[in-house]
Structure 1
Amino acid sequence: MRRTLIRLSLALLAVTAAAAPSAALETKAREAVVMDYNTGTVLFEKNAREAMPPASMTKIMTAYVIFDRLKNGDLSMDDKFVVSEKAWRKGGSKMFVEVGNEITVENLLQGMIVQSGNDASIVLAEGIAGSEEAFADIMNEYAERLNMPATNFENATGWPDADHRTSALGLARLARALITDFPNYYDRFYSQLEFTWNDIRQYNRNPLLRRNMGVDGLKTGYTSNAGYGLTASAKRDGRRVITVVNGLERPSGRENESARLIEWAFREFKNVELFAEGETVEQAEVWLGSQPRVPLVTDQRLVMTLPSDATDSMTVTVSYQAPIPAPIQAGQQLATLKIEAPNVETRTIPLTAGETVPQLGPFGRIVSGVEYLVFGAP
C-alpha cells in the first residue's frame, strides 16, 4: 500500500488546520447548535441531540412539506383551502382567519411564517392531508428522511404535547435542507418583515431580521415548557451559518444568544477549498500501461470548515496499491484521500482515475516488465 503525504502550501495551512476546540464556548441556552451551512459541519453543540419541545419552530417542517408540494407541482400558490372551526378556534399566535373563508396557499404561508399563525398552520395541514393528525404523519416521514434525531411530530403548530419533540440538531438539519431544497421560497417568505391580514398588521417575530447582521430567517418559538427558542440563519460573503437555541427565559435571551453565536461562527471559522472538483491530487504509478502514471482526481469540490487561527497541523494523505495495473478506466476508484486535523472530524474521500490508460501490447508488456525489474518504478 502506497501512502503519500501531501504538503499543501503554507498560505493554505495557515487557515485550514484545526486549533481551538468549540467546547471553549458557553451559552445560556438549554439546547443549542451552531452549524456551517455550506459544509454541514457542527461548530458547537449543547444537548443538541436530546429531545426538546420545539414550540413554533415546528412550523419550519410544516413549511418544508408545503414547499415540497409546490416544487413538485402538486400544489400551487393560488390554490385555496377552507378554514375549519378547529383552525379558527386555535389559541396562541394567530393570522386571524375566519371560519369558512377560502384562503390561498400564498397567504396562508405568510400567515404561518411571518405571523406564526397557528390557525394558518392548521388550515395548511388540513388542506394537504385532511386532518392535522394525518399531516403530522407526513412530517415524521420527512423528519426520518432528513435524519432529525429525537424527533416525533404530533401537530403542525408546535402546540404543547408530551409526545411532540425534536432536537436542536434536528432543527439545524431541517433548516439547512429547507434553504438548499427551496431557495426561492426561502428568500421569498422568511425575510418578509410584515404581513397584514383581516386588516391586522403583524411584524415578523424574528428579531434578528432587523439587526443588519445578514440574518434572513428562520423561526422563533415559545411555550412555557419549551422556553424561548430561535432557529436562525445568516449569510455573509458567500458563507452561511445556522444556529438553534432553545430553553431561554426571555425573548431577549434568544435574540442575544443567537446573535452572539452567529458572530462567533463567522469570526472563529473559515471555509477553505482544499481541492476543486476534478482536480488532480496525485500522480499514481501504472504497471504495464500505455503511460507510466495516471492522475488521481476528486469527483467533488472539497471544502472544509476549520478554525481561523489554525497552525500547520493538518495532514492530507493519499493511499493506494502501487503500481496500479493497466488497463484503467477514467472514473475508476483507485485511491483514498484522508484529511486529518486536531479537533476536526477526519474525512476520507475516494479518488478516481482522471483518464483512461490502456494496457500495453504483448511486446510492450515484456519490455516494460524488464525495465521495471532492472530500473524499478519510473
Structure 2
Amino acid sequence: MKNTKKLLMNALGASLLLCMSSTGFAEIVMNSSGNSGQANISWSSEEANLLLNGDVSANSASSFNEPSPKGSVNVTTTVRSGAAAQSTPKTVQIVDTSNFSDQPTVSARAALIMDAQTGEVLFGKNTNTSLPIASITKLMTAVVTADARLNMSEQITLQQIDFAGAGGKNSSSTLRVGDKMNRAEALLFALMKSENPAAAALARTYPGGRNAFYAAMNAKARSLGMTSTHYVESSGLDPRNVSSARDLGILVSAASQYSVIRQFSTTPSYDFNLGYRVLKSNNTNSLVRNGGWNINISKTGYINEAGRCVVMHTTLNNRPAVVVILGANNTQARNNDAIRLMNWASQLPKSI
C-alpha cells in the first residue's frame, strides 16, 4: 500500500587516551572507517523515500541493502561526511590541545571530541570509563541491522514482547501492540524518535532472533576495537548496556559510513502513517531540529542510570568531528556541554 508520507531530509585537552592497547585510538578509528576497496553502496534520498513509502518490492529492496564498511586501508582511508567522501593520508596521532585554547568546562560524567578524519583527540574527560549508555545503544542496533542486508520493505508487526522494557521501564508512549511498519520505518523510529519497541522488533526479526542479534552487536563492537563495551539488548533500557566515550567515538566514526544511518538519525521530523493513525514525530535531539549545526549523525539517550547522553558526527570549521556526552544531569546541561565543546573546537587550528 502506498502511503502519503513525507520525509524531511538532513538540513563533540586536556585529557588524552593513554590507557590504550598496542593499537592507538586514532588507528582504530581510521581502520574502522576503511572498506578494503569494497564499494560502499549508499541509499539515496529517493531510495529511502521509496522504502518508507512502501513502493519497493521485496525483490528490488535487496538492492538498497548497504554492506558493512569493514577491514582496513593501508595507505588511504575513506571517510564520509554527509554525502561526500574524502581520501586522506593515514596518519596516526594523539594530540594534547591544552596549549591551543582554554579548555572548555564540561559538567557531564564523560565527554569526548575528536577529529573524525585523523582520530586526533581534541578534548577528553573520563574517556575510558565504562558507563550505561541508554538509547545510544540504538546506534549499534542500526549498524547490525544494516550489516544484515535484510529486506527493508518487509512488514513488521509489533508484539507484546517488544514492549517488555527492562526493569519495568516505560517502553513507549506512542506505539501499540499490533502496529505495523516496514523495517525501514522501524529503523527510522529507533534512530529519530528513539522508540524502544521498534529497536526491540528489529532484534526479534533478525535471522536467529534476539539472542543472535545481541551476539552480533557484541561481535561488531569487538571487531571495531570497542574494548569497554557490552550489550545485553537492543534498545538501551537495560543499564547493563555499557560503553565508554572512547568506544562510542569509534562507533560513531564507523556508523558515519552508512548513509541510511546518517539520513535517518538526522531527520528532523516525520509523519508515520500506520494506516489507522498518523504519528507526527520529531527528532529527540533539539540541535538537529533547530538546524544550527551541520550534524551528520545523531543519537540521544536517557535512563536514570545513564543520565542524559548524546553522540554526534558533525563538521566544525571544515573539520569532521565526533562529539560524545555521557551522564549529563539534564537535557539542557547535555546540550550546553555539546555546544560548548563544538564552539571551542570550531576555534582550533584546522591542522594541529
Give the TM-score of the pair, scaled to structure 1: 0.61
User: Is 1:244 paired with 2:319?
Assistant: no
What does residue 110 of structure 2 align with? 31
2-side partners of 1:138 and 1:23: how far apart?
42
What does residue 164 of structure 1 align with? 241
What does residue 309 of structure 2 align with? 229
Deviations along 1:37-83, one digit per CA (max 9) or x if unpaired, are: 111111111111111000011111001111222xxxx3132122332
2-side partners of 1:175 and 1:222: how far apart?
18
CA RMSD of aligned residues (A): 2.4
Where do 5+ consecutive residues of structure 1 fail to align? 1-15, 272-305, 307-378
Shift of 1:101: 4.5
Residue correspondence of structure 1 range 89-100 to structure 2 within 5 A: 89-90=164-165, 91-92=169-170, 94=172, 96-100=174-178
What does residue 281 of structure 2 align with? 202
Deviations along 1:220-249, one digit per CA (max 9) or x if unpaired, are: 111111111111221246421111011111
CA contact (8 A) 1:140 1:153 kept: yes
* 1:155 counterpart (233, 236, 248): 233
**CA, structure 1 residues 191+95, in 2 after alignment: closer, same or farther (shift >3 Å)?**
farther
State the secondary structure of the residue aligned to 1:200.
strand
Higher share of residues assigned strand: 1
Shift of 1:100: 4.1
Give 4+ residue runs of structure 1 displaced > 4 Å after superposition. Answer: 16-19
User: Is 1:186 paired with 2:261?
Assistant: yes
1-side partners of 2:96 and 2:178: how far apart?
60
User: Is 1:62 paired with 2:141?
Assistant: yes
Shift of 1:172: 1.1
User: Is 1:50 paired with 2:129?
Assistant: yes
Of structures 1 and 2, the one scoring higher in RCO (CA 8 A, sep 6+) is 2
2-side partners of 1:253 and 1:81: how far apart?
37
CA contact (8 A) 1:110 1:195 kept: no
1-side partners of 2:281 and 2:133: how far apart?
22
Residue correspondence of structure 1 range 287-366 to structure 2 within 5 A: 306=352
**CA, structure 1 residues 19+261, in 2 after alignment: closer, same or farther (shift >3 Å)?**
closer
CA contact (8 A) 1:95 1:118 kept: no
CA contact (8 A) 1:82 1:127 kept: no
**CA, structure 1 residues 138+18, in 2 after alignment: closer, same or farther (shift >3 Å)?**
closer
Q: What letter is aligned with 2:238?
A: P
Residue correspondence of structure 1 range 360-375 to structure 2 within 5 A: none
CA contact (8 A) 1:245 1:254 kept: yes
**CA, structure 1 residues 142+22, in 2 after alignment: closer, same or farther (shift >3 Å)?**
farther
Q: What percent of counterpart residues are identical? A: 28
CA contact (8 A) 1:148 1:173 kept: yes
CA contact (8 A) 1:51 1:166 kept: yes
Shift of 1:89: 4.6
* 1:78 counterpart (149, 153, 157): 153
State the secondary structure of the residue aligned to 1:128.
coil
Give the TM-score of the pair, scaled to structure 2: 0.66
Deviations along 1:101-133, one digit per CA (max 9) or x if unpaired, are: 442111101111111000000000111144433
What does residue 212 of structure 2 align with? 134
